Structures are given as structure tokens and as C-alpha cells.
Amino acid sequence: MNAVLYQILLYGYYFISFYYSLLVLEWFLSLIGATNSRFYGLIRKITDPYNDIFRERIVIGHFDLSGTVGLVLFFLLLRFISSILIS
């Protein structure tokens, strides 16, 4: 693999990993009910562009599973990029 392409993928992987961490943190804070803090508001502003894609798409009864599906798809993207970097 070309060294420049490898570096681009590596830094992209770092950025996506950080963004995934923010997504998980936002999910966890909303799960425990810590949604009134300024910290949560900041994280939500950063993660909403991705979360809005899935919001209220997969609802079963009173449960909105869209965020979980979004997290799983993001995790699969991370695994795909890491498999490219390893090979």
C-alpha cells in the first residue's frame, strides 16, 4: 500500500475512533439521564449530524433502537478500516 494512502487511512481511523468514543459517551450519558449538563449539550452538538440520520427510524413499541443501529454500523466501519490498515 502506498505510504501516503496508509497515512491518510491511519489518521482517518484515529478521527473516526475518537468520534465513535463521543457517540458511545453520548449514548451512555443519555442512558443514565445526565442530559441537563453543558458537557452533554456539547457532545450532542458534535454527534447529532450522525445520529440524526438514524433518529426515529427503527422504533419497536416505545423503544427507539436507531441509535444502537447507528453505533453498530459505525463500529463496523471502524473494523473495516482497521482490517485494511492491518493487511
Question: Using one digit for the tens of pLDDT, what is the confidence trace for 4-58?
Answer: 988 998 899 999 999 999 999 998 998 888 888 899 999 999 999 998 888 877 7
**Contact by Cβ (8 Å): 16, 81:** yes
What's the pTM value of the predicted model, to 2 decimals? 0.82
Q: Which domain holds residue 40?
A: 3-86
Q: How many domains does the chain have?
A: 1
Cell numbers at residue 52, please? 440524526
